[in-house]
Amino acid sequence: MKHNIVDDSIRRGLEEREIQTLSEFATKSRYTRGRVREEVACPFRTNFQRDRDRILHSKAFRRLKHKTQVFLSPYDDHFRTRLTHTLEVSQIARTISRALNLNEDLTEAIALGHDLGHTPFGHCGEAVLNRLLKDGFKHNVQSVRVVETLEDLNLCQETVDGILTHSWGYKPETPEAQVVQFADKIAYINHDIQDSIRAGVINEKDLPKDCIRYYSSTPSKRLNRMVSDIVFSSIGKPKITMSEEGWSYTTRLREWMFENVYVGSPAKMEEKKASRCVEELFNYYKMMLKHELPEDKLEIVISDYISGMTDRYAIERFSEIFIPKGLETNKGDDFLYKLIKNLK
């Protein structure tokens, strides 16, 4: 049986299903504000499904597996990386979107793409580039640059907006992007607590007692209550919200983590070295390329290059450039053959 590849009845059926079944507040893929460049629509995927797939297959997404979440270059396989953080955000965001009958495909696309522009060594690397660059550096802005310029994924405007606005302080245009904004916060608060306990940086009994009474000390129960709070506070509303009490305890936990883990704890002791690594690489490339480009373009190139590095690649480049090596004589296995010759 021959299939007509221009037959778009499958995609149109999916779009119609969205219109008929999703919440009145959900973003419908048929009514997307479009892409920078018009494209022939996929016959069996909606626009937002296509965005999700493009992000998932991007090089920047694959590099997230070797980028820091909290603990620098962890050797313990059970610590989160930027990739596993992204997957947890995606799972939480999809759960909330499904419960609220929003567009799960758009939610997932935003969640998978939200940290594509993150630097090596997590927020430590971001802080260094922000200090060194004349126009500053924000990973959410760089994530947009990754999908729009560096990998040119030509995503829908709703997906790009959600990636840009996942950081707190921005105003997302869609409820799906608002979901990701909340999911990012509650994901990192919960998994960073788990990783910090595993690393011995904090103990479960150290957590604020009022937060434990409200949310429970059990990770799954705490996360489930946060998700439930968002769902039941947002049902039938155009804006995604959390109860005042729930948000208060969530904020309290976040502030406690900043005081006890994110700043000045043993978990961050290596950050001075990581900061030096990023800064030395930046200065090295700036000196090396200063005659190649005007300064404004030079800084863009260097920030693109360094922010795209994984932890281990940044360490490898720093070692190759700044750590002295012994003279390589290219003798190889000469001595082995000399021993063999002596026995003959």
Residues 70 and 216 in one domain: yes
Residues 173 and 290 in one domain: no
What domain count does the chain have?
Answer: 2
Q: What is the pLDDT of residue 55?
A: 98
Q: What is the pLDDT of residue 73?
A: 61
Is residue 72 within 8 Å of residue 311, measured between CB atoms?
yes
Residues 293 and 210 in one domain: no
- Domain finish residue from 272, 305, 335: 272
Low-confidence ranges of the chain (pLDDT < 50): 1
Residues 199 and 131 in one domain: yes
Structure pTM?
0.92
Residue 37 lies in a domain: no
Whole-number Å distance between alpha carbons of 50 and 41 = 9
Residues 317 and 174 in one domain: no
Residue 122 lies in a domain: yes
Report H helices in 155-218: 157-164, 175-198, 209-215
- Domain finish residue from 272, 287, 304: 272
Please give the C-alpha separations between residue 231 and each of 277, 289, 301, in angstroms, as whole numbers: 43, 51, 42
Q: Which domain holds residue 283?
A: 276-343
Nearest to 192 by CA among 248, 251, 128, 258: 258
**pLDDT per position as a tens digit, 150-179:** 999 999 999 999 999 999 999 999 999 999
Residue 61 lies in a domain: yes
Residues 54 and 192 in one domain: yes
Residue 35 lies in a domain: no
Whole-number Å distance between alpha carbons of 166 and 172 = 8
Q: What is the pLDDT of residue 1?
A: 44
Q: What is the pLDDT of residue 330?
A: 62
Residues 82 and 137 in one domain: yes
Residues 266 and 280 in one domain: no
Residues 104 and 225 in one domain: yes
Q: What is the pLDDT of residue 263?
A: 77
Residue 189 lies in a domain: yes
Residues 207 and 114 in one domain: yes
Residues 201 and 302 in one domain: no
Q: What is the pLDDT of residue 138?
A: 97
Residue 135 lies in a domain: yes
Residue 156 lies in a domain: yes
**pLDDT per position as a tens digit, 260-275:** 888 767 666 788 899 9
Residue 13 lies in a domain: no
Q: What is the pLDDT of residue 6?
A: 66
Residues 321 and 225 in one domain: no
**pLDDT per position as a tens digit, 106-120:** 999 999 999 999 999
